[in-house]
Chains A and B, each alone.
Chain A
Amino acid sequence: MIGNLDSAVPPGDIGDKWTQHKFDMKLVAPNNRRKFEVIVVGTGLAGAAAAATLGEQGYKVKAITYHDSPRRAHSIAAQGGINAAKNYKNDGDSVYRLFYDTVKGGDYRSREANVHRLAEVSGDIIDQCVAQGVPFAREYGGMLDNRSFGGAQVSRTFYARGQTGQQLLLGAYQALMKEVHAGSVELITKTEVLDLVVKDGVARGVVTRDLRTGEVQRHSAHAVLLCTGGYGNVFYLSTNAKYSNATAAWRAHKKGAAFANPCFTQIHPTCIPPSEEYQSKLTLMSESLRNDGRVWVPKNPDETRPASQIPDADRDYFLERKYPSFGNLVPRDVASRNAKTAVDAGQGVGPRKNGVYLDFADSISRLGEDAIRERYGNLFDMYERITDENPYHEPMRIYPAVHYTMGGLWVDYHLMSNVPGLFVLGEANFSDHGANRLGASALMQGLADGYFVISYTLANYLSGLLGESAVPTDDPVFTQAETDVADRMNQFLSIGGTKSPDHFHKELGKIMWDYCGMARNEAGLQKALSEIPALREEFYKDVRVLGSGESLNQSLEKAGRVADFLELGELMCKDALDRAESCGGHFREESQTPEGEALRDDENFSFVSAWEWTGDPATSIRHEEPLVFENVALTQRSYK
Chain B
Amino acid sequence: MKLTLNIWRQGSMQAKGEMRTYQLDDVSDDISFLEMLDMLNEQLIAQGEEPVEFEHDCREGICGSCGLMIDGQAHGPQTGTATCQLHMRKFADGATIDIEPWRAAAFPVVKDLVVDRTAFDRIVAAGGYVTAPTGSAPDANLIPVPKDAADASFDAAACIGCGACVAACPNSAGQLFTAAKIEHLNLLPQGQAERDSRVLEMVDTMEQYFGSCTNHGECTAACPKEIPLDYIAFMNRDYVRAQLRNRKLAGQR
Contact = CB atoms under 8 A, between A and B. Distances in A.
Interface of A: 49, 52-53, 56, 67-74, 76-77, 86, 88, 123-124, 126-133, 135-144, 160-161, 163, 166-167, 170, 173-175, 177-178, 180-181, 187, 189, 212, 241-243, 275-281, 283-284, 381-382, 385-386, 388, 451-452, 455, 498, 500, 502-503, 544, 546-547, 551-555
Which one of B34, B53, B58, B131 has the highest number of Cβ atoms from chain A below 10 Å of its Cβ? B58
Given A242-B58, A551-B111, 5 more contacts: A135-B150, A163-B158, A280-B38, A503-B42, A552-B53
Given A138-B147, A280-B32, A86 B64 contact: no
A242 B56 CA distance: 7
Interface string B12-54: 1000000000000000101110111011011001101111010
A67 B53 contact: no
Nearest to A503: B42
Nearest to A177: B125
Given A71-B161, A278-B35, A127 B53 contact: no
A167 B31 contact: no
Contacts of B125: 177-178, 180-181
A128 B139 CA distance: 9
B103 interface: no
Contact of A280 (B34, B132, B150): B34
Given A56-B133, A174-B129, A181-B126, A133 B185 contact: yes
Contact of A133 (B39, B111, B158, B188): B188
A552 B10 CA distance: 11
A166 B82 CA distance: 15
20 contacts: A69-B120, A69-B121, A71-B64, A72-B57, A72-B65, A74-B57, A124-B137, A131-B132, A131-B137, A135-B151, A136-B150, A166-B62, A177-B124, A242-B59, A277-B28, A278-B38, A278-B39, A283-B60, A385-B78, A554-B51
B73 interface: no
A189 B190 contact: no
A126 B78 CA distance: 36
Given A133-B153, A177-B128, A280-B35, A143 B144 contact: yes
Given A144-B140, A174-B129, A241 B58 contact: yes
B3 interface: no
- Using C-beta atoms within 8 Å of the partner chain, give the interface range for chain B: 35 or more
Given A138-B147, A212-B110, A242-B59, A131 B138 contact: yes
B92 to A, nearest CB: 16
A499 to B, nearest CB: 8
Nearest to A496: B48
Contacts of B59: 241-242, 280-281, 283
Interface string B188-217: 101100000000000000000000000000
B38 A546 contact: no
Contacts of B146: 138, 142
B61 interface: yes
A505 to B, nearest CB: 12
B134 interface: yes
Nearest to B52: A554
Contact of B63 (A56, A76, A500, A546): A76
A183 to B, nearest CB: 11
Contact of A278 (B31, B50, B81, B134): B31
B140 A127 contact: yes
Contacts of A278: 28, 31, 35-36, 38-39
Contacts of A52: 134
Given A139-B147, A555-B51, A133 B130 contact: yes
A473 B185 CA distance: 41
Nearest 10 interchain pairs by C-beta: A142-B144, A131-B137, A174-B129, A131-B132, A127-B137, A135-B154, A181-B125, A130-B140, A177-B125, A53-B134
B114 interface: yes
Contacts of B111: 551-552
Contacts of A141: 144
A68 B30 contact: no
Nearest to A74: B58
B63 A502 contact: no
Given A135-B157, A278-B31, A278-B35, A386 B87 contact: yes
A180 B123 CA distance: 12
Nearest to A165: B62
Contacts of B56: 242
Contacts of B64: 69, 71-72
Given A137-B150, A280-B35, A382-B85, A175 B62 contact: no
B246 interface: no
B63 A551 contact: no
Contacts of B58: 72, 74, 76-77, 241-242
A386 B130 contact: no
B250 interface: no
A534 B3 CA distance: 37
Contacts of A555: 45, 51
A232 B87 CA distance: 25
Contacts of B81: 385
Contact of B184 (A72, A88, A135): A135
A281 B133 CA distance: 37
Contacts of A173: 124
A243 B114 CA distance: 15
B252 interface: no
Contacts of A544: 45
B55 interface: yes
A76 B117 contact: no
A547 B78 CA distance: 34
B118 A546 contact: no
Contacts of B31: 276, 278-279
A207 B119 CA distance: 26
A67 B55 CA distance: 10
B135 interface: yes
B16 to A, nearest CB: 15
Contacts of A551: 11-12, 111
A259 B67 CA distance: 37
A133 B118 contact: no
Nearest to B188: A133
Contacts of B57: 67, 72, 74, 241-243
Nearest to B89: A388
A118 B140 CA distance: 18
B145 to A, nearest CB: 5
Nearest to A213: B12
Nearest to A189: B118
B118 to A, nearest CB: 7
Nearest to A69: B121
Contacts of B61: 382, 385
B253 to A, nearest CB: 16
Nearest to B112: A552
Which one of B63, B85, B184, B188 has the highest number of Cβ atoms from chain A below 10 Å of its Cβ? B63
B116 interface: yes
A133 B191 CA distance: 7
A436 to B, nearest CB: 23
Nearest to A174: B129
B118 A138 contact: no
A56 B11 CA distance: 40
Contact of B190 (A131, A140, A283, A381): A131
A451 B126 CA distance: 22
Contact of A135 (B11, B86, B118, B188): B188
Contacts of A142: 144-147, 150
B51 A546 contact: yes
Contact of A132 (B28, B63, B132): B132
A72 B157 CA distance: 14
Nearest to A143: B141
A137 B42 CA distance: 43
A500 B45 contact: yes
Contact of A140 (B12, B116, B147): B147
Contacts of B114: 552
